[in-house]
Each structure stands twice: as structure tokens, then as C-alpha cells.
Structure 1
Amino acid sequence: MLRRGPDVHASGPLRRPRGAGVVRWNLVRHRRSGGGRAYPAGVSELAATIARPAGGPSAPSAAPARIAGLDGLRALAVLAVIAYHAVPAAVPGGFAGVDVFFVISGFLITRLLLAERDATGGMRVLRFWMRRARRLLPALAVLVVVVATVAGLIGGDVTVGLGRQLFGGVTFSSNWGAIAADASYFGASAAEPFRHLWSLAVEEQFYLAWPLILAACVFLMSRGGTMLLLGGTAVLLAGGMAVLDLVGVDRSRLYFGTDIHAFGLLLGAVTALATGGSLAAAIKFLLDRGATDVTAICILAAPEG
């Protein structure tokens, strides 16, 4: 018995599919034979495309499964940093919690980008940036308003340089502002209510460039070559921190600078590339390759107590 299909005109005008017109940066692999422009087998090209999906089955989800255990590890890293600032003599190495947090962040973000590539065939950079903005900007706006209001009510030394700190906070450039002001991370200094945003600035600067760098590396190199390049860069940055400290470069400059302190984020990214985003495989990878030595270099370069 034949059944009449649904009347496509009964529900009114056609609606634009969700996600239509979204600009995507995709890694496209072409294998064409005959007719039109020909591409040799295996040649890849990085194309900026306009995605205009038609009707049909929805694309598979690009979001990987959540790793709950990493939330607890990140919380411990944050507590270590807080303890370091509260009682530095009792927790002299607590500052390393920042690097633990960076490694986890680099791992998770790269895992997300790789999962999206596997599910959709591309890395949608604009969508990635928009997701980051939706997650961070509302909370950051509340923080800025509340802290600035309280600082204004307290007055005194708390308001010194507040405008510079506010600008750095809302533009994710707090770390470079701290460097320009010769602020010290390790020593006692004037109260700066937005100083803690320096680490968020490092992360966001990394997130701005990383999807493009990863897409270019995947386009130009093999997976092994990408891992070698990024892992080598992480080791050079960590080692450079130690060497520059030995020759007398200001430690706060080294610690605040994205150009040096990105090694933890890169180490996490390489771990995700090497393990496919598996936490168990990531732990084994880090232990087998002595990744703790990279962190040790950073700790040796840091001040005592």
C-alpha cells in the first residue's frame, strides 16, 4: 500500500537550514579522476569554504566525550597556585600548577579540533572562536564589573594602574601589560586586582592562533612530522626559559610571556595528537617519553621559595 509523503508546502515557506552560510576553514582532500581540474592522488589543499548544508541526515557530532577526571586535576592545579600565593614558603612549587593547567588545556582543545575534523572533514575555525567567546565573555564581563566596582569603593593603592589592568583584561593582553609595567609574578608588589588574568590571556592568545597552525601543519606534514615539530618547539621553549633565566633575563618576563610560556599548551597539544585524545593513552605517552623532564626544566628555572 502506497502512502502519500508529506506535503512540503503545507507548513509554509522553506526555512534556511541551521548553520547555513557559516564560513569554515576546511582541510579538503581531493582525489579526482577525469573531467575538470585534476588533482594528483593524495594531494591536499587548504580551502576556505562557505558551508551551505542542504536537507538530509544531520552530521555526526564533533564533540568528544567529556573526561571528568581532568576537571578534578585542573581544580588541584588551581588550588596549588592559590596556595603558592597565600603561603609561598609552605608551597614553593605551587606556581607549577599553571603549567599543569596549560598542558590540560592544550590537550583538550586539540582533542576537540581533531574530533571535529574526523566528524566533519574540516576544522571550523570561526565556529571554534565563537564558542570560546560565548563561554568566556559573559563570565569575564561580570568579573570585570564586580571587581572594578569593589576596587573603586576600596580606593587607595588598589586603583593604581586599574585602567591598564582593565584594558588588558578585556583584550586578553594582561600578560603583556604586566611585562610592560615591570610587574613581578614571584615577588611582593602593589595590589593589582586583575593580575590573575595574565594566564587567561596566554591561553586565549594560543587559542587564536592554534587552530590555524594545526590546520597548516596537518596540511603540510605527516602526523609524525607535526608531532616532532611541535614537541621540539615545546622543549626548546622550556629549555629557553631555563637558559634565559641563567643569563639574567627577568623571571617574570619569562613567566608572563606567551612566546616562552606556551610550551605547556604545546605539550598538551602534542599529547592529543599522539594519543587520539585518549586519557589513558595520554598518561602513558607522557610517562614513556619523559615529559616530566620538560616541567622539571621550568621548575629549575624558577626561584626558590
Structure 2
Amino acid sequence: MWIRRCVVEKTRRETQVSMTSTYSEEATASGRPLPAAAGAPTRFQPEIQGLRALAVLVVLLYHFWPERLTGGYVGVDVFFVISGYLITAHLFKEAVKTGGVRLGQFWGRRIRRLLPLSLLVLLLTAISAVFILPSTAWQATLRQIIASTLYVQNWILAADAVEYSKADERATAVQHFWTLSVEEQFYILWPVLLALTLLFLGLRQRRSGAPGLGHRQIRATFLWVVGLLGAGSLAFSIYYTAAAPAQAYFVTPTRIWEFTLGAVAALVLGSRQFTGRGGNVLGWIGFLMILGAAIFYTDATPFPGWTALLPTLGTVLVLACGGREPGTGIYWWLSLRPATAIGDWSYAIYLWHWPVVVFSPYISESARFWYVKVLLILGIIGLSALSTRFFETPIRRAKILLPTWRTMAAAGAGMVLVIVSGSVAVSAMQTNSADSALSEDHPCYGYRALANPEECGSPFEGDLGLWPSPAVVTQQYQEEAFPGCQADEDTPGVQECWLGAEESEAQGTVAVFGDSHATMWLPALDEIAQEQNKQLLVLTRSACTPRGGEVGGDSSECLRSNVEAIDELTTDQNVDTVVIAASQMHGEFGGPSSDLGLDAERYDLDDSALAMYEPIVRLLEAEKEVVVFGETPRMSNDEQSEETLPECVALNEGDLSACNERLEDTQVGDRWLTRSAEVFAEEENYHFVPTEDLVCREDTCYAVLGGAITYSDNSHLARTFVRSTIPELTSRMEPALAANS
């Protein structure tokens, strides 16, 4: 579906609903001009509202047509610079007037400006989600609603961006609140730093008998603090964007320097702007820098880092330079009423637009058509105008909230209301959708229905109902059955995990070697090992195909750990059986570390195949029983489909056959493990365990068997379904297990 943008590294900015809510009451169209103070903007600047309009429209178009305006995410950077400009100007004027920063009053104003509408959007989104979205999305949405309410959403997304189990998770309807989280964290950090610095300098002045801090001293202090903070943040942003791009996009330290650019502009320029012909040219250059980044940047652009300098410096140029000549002056264009009106509503437009983007395809398939998108955009603008006029503005101006303590109390109550309402809505709907008439103990549950058609009848259409629910099945993949038993892709060394029988009672060891598709079988292999009175040694690693190869200085941790694990398995006398399993989707590998003695021409084996066969060859040479699981079918592999199988089931409970797949469509990779059955057919200690027929019959692979949803995403079998295959897997592994009894 066209709305989704993931948080994993490879698509790190496609889910990045990237624009901030920055909008200062000191710069609204209805606001009064600020009192004069040297070194800070002293008048209303309507062009800033036009600049906001540019940023919000860039983001809006990016989210509705992500393949057309590929760099529209730079709208967030424009807003961060504006935020730093306006907020620093305000804090500087206050410091000149009072000698310090009144934190309570500052935060109170921010809360009255930002929280009412954001909490309203979160509340309505939480309630709407349980009626519009499939049950598989409820928990993720609730989790992010809570994070958004507490303004830590960006850190949640940063953590999810590198978590393998979250790789295919859809963008939630509140994912765009990450920008508000960054902004609010800046609003806490920046004034506190300034207040502490001014307090320290003021105390030092009094102790020395010198007069209080003057205007120039305060400005110099601000510039030193903002300069050091910005330089450190920019350096970290460049480093971290290269080292961990998925996380770097969201975390606050990589973004602070963008605020400080605006802060420096406010402190250095004050109320001055460069006008005239030269200034106007520079303003247009800044405008084109922003637009150029929006047009030419893509998901492959390392961001934020140094590439964010283009739109942010462009924003500074527009803030500092321009002309008001009709027709040619950039400030004239940015100050036109349509532009300033969009700017006035920009905060509301940002808040409302992303839930509409996420919800609309679930409401109607017509949402993908351009003319429907245009109507949705117009509706968003209309809704934003109304909510700004009749909700946000009255609350911001309400006299009853003017005391800071009342503002804080109202904010706390509103946050509690959103969290409790969202939790209750999700809990109530999950309770209503639960089906308790079925369990794993049912004789026709899961694979057992497929294995016993005479006793169970047709197992395919879910006649028994569904258990567990699609939402629970989705959680099975995201919450590990055996925490700590699968190493992360880049974790150094071999990570061991022991399951199965107790060491003191065990007679031999079965090892599991592979990627997450080997981990997927642990619920069954653990019980099989216990039944066979064997320990189960787990050596699995996410996104790491089991293979051998030559280790060099630039080798990945995956290859290094694989080679180390192979050495360990071949030499460990207690390991008698090794189970190998992997996804049918993998990258290209170099060849094996040595000649395997296989007939590559006869079996049409390339380097990747030989690398994957190296562990098999070495384990057979070490006289281990080698059990190779065939690759499982990959459901919904259409590149345009982002729907997981549990989600499909949740949306089609009345016709579960809509989620079935043709077998040939699920065979998408080289499937070297399945093809190994032919290559090693003559090897006595080699045992192949087919897996396709556990979920497929003839030409069809099924989404539901015997009331059990077969997959927890689109390629990993659901934990409950895997357990239903235990008797069958035991039978298929029997030759290998019996050899070491």
C-alpha cells in the first residue's frame, strides 16, 4: 500500500512522517508585534508563515505521493530551524529584560500552544483506530499513542528501527508525532541550559561586585552556549548518520543543531533582514535550496547528517534575506494571504494529515486515486482551519489556564485521559473479538486438521473459528518465544542458548544453526529435544544465512560468527545432530573457504549455493547427523503488498480464502536448502525435512488451518501453528534422532 514507510534502515525515512509542529504565538497572524529589544526580531514577520506553508505542503505532498516528491521529508528541518529562530528570540528578549529565563512561564506557554490540539488528535485517533484498522494494528498504535502523549515517540521509533522483529511493521497513525517529541525535548533542554548559564554568570558577577549582565554579555553567552551545542550536535549527526542511519533519523542529538542554526540567526541578525536586490536573490536561493532538497533527495540520501545543511541553510537564508517588491520579492509571495493562512493552520494540518493518510485506504480502495487524494488534502486543510479557529485558539487564550500550575494540571489530566481512553478502547475491542471456543489441545487444531481430513473434515476455511486472534499472532513474532536465543545481526562472536532437556539428564545434544527461520522452529524443536532427552543448542542469528566462506578484514559479523559456529559444531563431541534452516530470501555471497568436492556444473551451483553447502559438507565430514529443513513458503510476496498475513485474516474473516496464495507464487528465492536434497541424496547422514506441505496442499498455501493462523508475518510461521506440527516434525526427524539413540 502506498502509505507505508518503514523504520528499518533500508526504508528508514519512508515511515518518517517528518514535520514538526513548531508554531510560536509570537509569530501568528493575529499576534501583536513584540516589544523592541536589540538583537532579536521585534516585529511580526508574515513571511515566516509563508515559509511554514511551504514546509507543511512539502510534507503533505510527500506523504500522499512519496514516489513523486522523494525528499519531502526535509520539511521537518525547515520547521526545526524556524523553531530555534523564534524560541531563541523570545528567550533572549526575556533574558535582557529580567536577567534570567522563567522556565515555568515558558513551558506554560508552550503547553497551552501545543498540547490541546495534539491531545485531541491522539484521543480521536485512538478511538478511530479500533473501528478502522485491523486488530493486528491496535497494540502497535496504542503503544505509540502512549509514547506520543509522553513525548518520547522519537526514541521508540529509533529503537524499533534496528529491531529485527519490527522490520515489517506498518507505520502507525500517530508515527508523525516523533517530530513533536524532538521539539518538546528541545524546549526542555534549551531554556534549562540558558537559565543555568545565566544563573552561574549572575552569581559570579555579584560575588565580584560587578554590575549585572548587560545586553552584549547576554547575547555573547547565548551565542557561546548555542554554538557549542550546535557544533557538537552537528558533528554527532554526521557521525551517527553514517554509523546508524536508521536510528540517527529519529534521535534528538542528531537534530539539535538544526534548532541552533535558527537560534544563531535570531541572535546575530536580530530585527535586521537583508533586503534590496542582493538580499532578494539570496532569499530566492534559500527557497530553491529547500525545494531542491525536497525534489532531489531520496530514501538513499544519508540524512540528517551533512546533507541536512542544504534545506536548513536555505531556511536561514529565507529568514534573513528577501524582498517585498510585488511580483519579484520572495517576502511578497510568502506574505500573501493564501500562504500565511496555510502557515497559520500548519500545526493542525500536520497533526491531522497523517491519520488521514493511514486510515483512508482501510475505508475505501479509492483512496489510491489522485483525485481522491486531492479531495482528502482539501478536507485536511478545512478541518485544520476549523480546529485552529474553534479549538486551539480559544484554549490557548483561556484566562482560566493562564496560571502556570493550572496549565500543568490540565496538561497532566489531558495526557491521562488520552492514555486511559486508548487503553480501554483497545482492551474492550480485543475482548469482544476473542474466540475462546478453540485451543491448541483441539484434535483438529492447526496442522492436525490437514493431517487428518477424514476425522476433521475440511481444514481450510476456518470452520472452527480462529484462535488465537490475528493481533495475538502478530505479537508472537515481535515478542520472542525464547528471549536471548537469537543473536542480533551485528553482535560479535557466537551467542549460545540452551533449551531442551536438563544437562544432567541429557543424552547428547541437538544443535540449531541458521537465521530467524531456524529460530522460528524452536517451539517445536524444544519439545522434541525434551522428548528425546537431549539438550538443544541454539546458534541462530537474525538476517544471517547459515553459510561458510573465507574470513577477511572486512567480513561481516554474520560470516565471522558462522565460521566460528561451524568450527564449534564440528569439533564438539556432545553434538550429534545439527538442524539447519534459513529463509529462501538472502543476499549474494562469496564462495566457500575451500573446495567442497561438489559437482557445481551438474547441479548448477553458484558461489552462494556453495557457501551455503559448506556447513553441510563439513558437518557430514565430522560424522554429524545433518537435518536440513526446506524453506517455508513466502506469503504475500507482491512488492506492492505490505499487508501481513495476520492483517489479511483480520480484514477478511468472512472469507479467509482471500488470504491464501498459489504455491508457485510463494517460491521466490533460490531455495538452495530445498535443492540440497538432490545434491546430498547419497549421503547417509544427511536428512531432508520438507516444510511446504505443512501449510500447502497441491497448488494452494493456506492462511488458516484448523482455526490456526499459519504465519505471524509473511514468512515466519506462527508459534501456535509450529507447535501443532510437533508430531509430524518428530516423525520426519526420526531417522536422524534414532541414529544417535
Q: TM-score, normalised by structure 1?
A: 0.65
Q: Deviations over 1:197-216 (max 9, x none)?
A: 00011000110121121233
Verify: 1:202 aligned to 2:182, yes or no: yes
Please tell me whether the aligned partners of residues 126 and 142 of structure 2 are also in contact (alpha carbons under 8 angstroms). no
Residue 82 of structure 2 is matched in structure 1 by 104
Verify: 1:270 aligned to 2:264, yes or no: yes
Alignment of 1:92-171 (within 5 A): 92-156=70-134, 157-171=136-150
SS in 1 for 2:181: helix
Counterpart-to-counterpart distance in 1, 2:98 and 2:221 = 23
Residue 175 of structure 1 is matched in structure 2 by 154
Letter in 1 for 2:47: G
2:227 to 227, 231, 244: 231
SS in 2 for 1:204: helix
Residue 173 of structure 2 is matched in structure 1 by 193
Verify: 1:259 aligned to 2:253, yes or no: yes
Counterpart-to-counterpart distance in 1, 2:44 and 2:309 = 34
Residue 60 of structure 2 is matched in structure 1 by 82
2:193 to 204, 213, 228: 213
Counterpart-to-counterpart distance in 2, 1:182 and 1:160 = 17
Q: Which runs of 5+ in 2 are unaligned?
A: 1-34, 202-216, 290-302, 311-741
Counterpart-to-counterpart distance in 2, 1:198 and 1:92 = 20
Out of 145-154 and 156-165, give the one that drifted further: 156-165
Identify if the C-alpha distance between structure 1 residues 95 and 275 changes in structure 2 by more than 3 Å, giving closer, same or farther.
Answer: same
Q: TM-score, normalised by structure 2?
A: 0.29
Counterpart-to-counterpart distance in 2, 1:180 and 1:65 = 42
Counterpart-to-counterpart distance in 1, 2:305 and 2:116 = 36
Identify if the C-alpha distance between structure 1 residues 210 and 300 changes in structure 2 by more than 3 Å, giving closer, same or farther.
Answer: closer
Aligned length: 233
Verify: 1:241 aligned to 2:241, yes or no: no
The alignment-based identity, stated in percent, is: 35
Out of 61-70 and 143-152, give the one that drifted further: 61-70
Q: Deviations over 1:48-97 (max 9, x none)?
A: xxxxxxxxxxxx79995322211110121122122223323322222111
Highest RCO, 1 vs 2 (Cα 8 Å, sep ≥ 6): 1
Q: Deviations over 1:185-229 (max 9, x none)?
A: xx9850301100000110001101211212334454764464245
Residue 46 of structure 2 is matched in structure 1 by 68
SS in 1 for 2:186: helix
Counterpart-to-counterpart distance in 1, 2:196 and 2:50 = 33
SS in 1 for 2:161: coil
Counterpart-to-counterpart distance in 2, 1:263 and 1:98 = 13
Letter in 1 for 2:307: C
Counterpart-to-counterpart distance in 2, 1:124 and 1:244 = 34
Please tell me whether the aligned partners of residues 237 and 304 of structure 2 are also in contact (alpha carbons under 8 angstroms). no
Counterpart-to-counterpart distance in 2, 1:117 and 1:222 = 7
Letter in 2 for 1:255: Y
Structure 1 residue 119 displacement after superposition: 3.4
Please tell me whether the aligned partners of residues 272 and 278 of structure 1 are also in contact (alpha carbons under 8 angstroms). no
Letter in 2 for 1:260: T
Counterpart-to-counterpart distance in 2, 1:299 and 1:117 = 30
Out of 70-79 and 157-166, give the one that drifted further: 157-166
SS in 2 for 1:242: helix
> Which structure has the bigger radius of gyration?
2
